[in-house]
Amino acid sequence: MFFHINNNNILPPSQFGFRAKHSTIHQVHRVVDAISTSLERKQYCSCVFLDISQAFDRVWHDGLLFKLRNCLPSPLFLLIKSYLTDRYFQTRIGSSISEMSLIQAGVPQGGILSPLLFNIYASDQPITQDTLVADFADDKAIIAVHENHLIASTNLQIHLDLISQWYSRWRIKLNHNKSVHTTFTLKHGICPPVSVDNIPIPSSDTVKYLGLTLDKRLTWKQHIRSKRLTLNSRSRSLKHLLSKNKFTKLKTKLLIYKSLLKPIWTYGLQLWGSAKKTNINKIQTFQNITLRRIANAPPYVSNLTLHNDMRMKTVEEESNYLQIEVTELQNDEVLKNSFRDTTSLTQFYSSLPISTFPGIRQFAQKLIAVFASTYICEQTFSIVKYRKNKHSPLLSDEHVVLRVSTTLQADIQNLTDKLQA
């Protein structure tokens, strides 16, 4: 089924969710590139980020089957039809059980085909020539750029009117309160507000999209600040493992830092790594403090010495080597053709010359070691069942199981003897 859909270009090129050779960073890169280009040209960039309420649970079965009938061979369509139809559910509260009811909407939770079915259901959303669309499953961004702020909002509103009609026709509900309208510009004025179904979309100077916080001038100040707060919170929960534990070896402490703390700020570094030095220093200061606590280093040991001894790159070094290698990769026609022909990202990254792209290869190895594909990555985070209801504020780090693969073996007997002594 995946082979048939990819070969027949059933999904639009703007859809990056749950697809091979696509990721969140690739989609955010498209959005940031459009915004940064408009800022360089001193234009107005009017963007709206839409949030669909219970997207996977509101997929209308009859509408989905209608679309599948037009794009799948008959045997495959009948197989998917039998998979979706005649499904029932019942609710149990204590010892009371409700009657069984027919499921008429929604794709099966946790099913491997569910993300693909949703992408097909949303594949015919309207587009216009004056706007740019960026989709990642149910996260949608629409961008309109123009020198005149009135024209930019008008083009955006025309697209939103078409989207509103499509949502009404295919029984999709938009969450107006979580949708955001943002104007990216270096000028003092802002674009007029826009609406969906005559309900204004809330405006904000910052917006969080696929894990990155974007501000109106793309300074990355808010994103770095939020990441620093997250790092501080996670560091406090790990302080007994990193700084106040004389029984843990230095190599193990570094492994904990690289596995549980460093990925928090390295995500999207190739984009926000171009921020000004005062903002970058907020993350660099955190790394300096953490490495000093890990090594229990005295004050007279410099931060440069700590980084060199532990073979750790600074934030600026991490950013620079990735950006340079990405630029070289984009200008290599042979590798671009290899990327188009390959069927696996793992094979493509492993084929890169280690002498030319050591950073990208190492970065890819870290990602592949944790998540074998974009789908597995998204499925991992969607396992938390209460992420979008009233119980979500009650979740803490205790509810998240973090597993670190290592070759280190714990000497239980030795540790026990030390604790008893």
- In the chain, which stretches have pLDDT less than 70? 321-324, 327, 330-331, 340, 343-345, 363, 365-421
The 10 Å Cβ neighbour count of residue 39 is 18
Give pLDDT, residue 151: 93
Long-range Cβ pairs for the range 245-251 (8 Å, 24+)? 247/415, 247/418, 249/408, 250/294, 250/295, 250/310, 251/408
Burial (CB < 10 A; 0-12, 13-18, 19+), residue 142, is buried
Residue 139 · residue 179 · CB < 8 Å? no
Give pLDDT, residue 142: 94
> Nearest to residue 25, comparing CAs of 205, 297, 200, 212?
212
Residue 206 · residue 213 · CB < 8 Å? yes
Site of tokens 């990642």: 136
pLDDT tens by residue, 169-183: 999 988 888 899 999
pLDDT tens by residue, 23-82: 888 899 899 999 999 999 999 999 999 988 888 888 888 899 999 988 888 888 898 888
- Give the DSSP letter string of 126-169: ---TT-EEEEETTEEEEEEEESSHHHHHHHHHHHHHHHHHHHHH
Pairing of strands 44-51, 180-184: antiparallel
What CA dihedral angle connects 63, 66, 69 and 70, to 10 degrees? -110
From CA 18, how far away is CA 27, in angstroms rounded?
12
Q: What is the 3-state secondary structure (H, E, C) of 334-366?
A: HHHHHHHHCCCHHHHHHHCCCCCCHHHHHHHHH
Site of tokens 């990555």: 377
Q: Which residues of 179-197 are buried (b: 16+ CB within 10 A; e: fewer)?
A: bbbbbbbeeeebbbebebe
Helices of type H across 238-302: 239-242, 250-256, 262-266, 269-272, 277-295
Q: Two tokens at 233?
A: 């919170």
Give pLDDT, residue 157: 94
| Cα-based distances in Å from 304 to 284, 285, 288, 311, 313 | 12, 12, 9, 10, 10
> Nearest to residue 131, comparing CAs of 296, 14, 42?
14
Residue 117 · residue 69 · CB < 8 Å? no
Strand partners, 75: none
Q: Cα 152–157–161 angle (5° rounding)?
A: 155
CA atoms within 13 A on the CB side of 377: 17
Residue 88 · residue 101 · CB < 8 Å? yes
Q: Two tokens at 155?
A: 């083009």
Burial (CB < 10 A; 0-12, 13-18, 19+), residue 385, is exposed
From CA 199, how far away is CA 323, in angstroms rounded?
41
The dihedral built from the CA positions of residue 212, 214, 220 and 223, taken in this order, carries a sign that is negative
DSSP 86: S
Cα 114 to chain center, whole Å?
18
Residue 206 · residue 174 · CB < 8 Å? no
The dihedral built from the CA positions of residue 314, 319, 324 and 326, taken in this order, carries a sign that is positive
| Cα-based distances in Å from 217 to 32, 181, 188, 201, 206 | 11, 14, 11, 20, 9
Tell me if residue 219 falls in helix, strand or coil.
coil
Give pLDDT, residue 375: 39
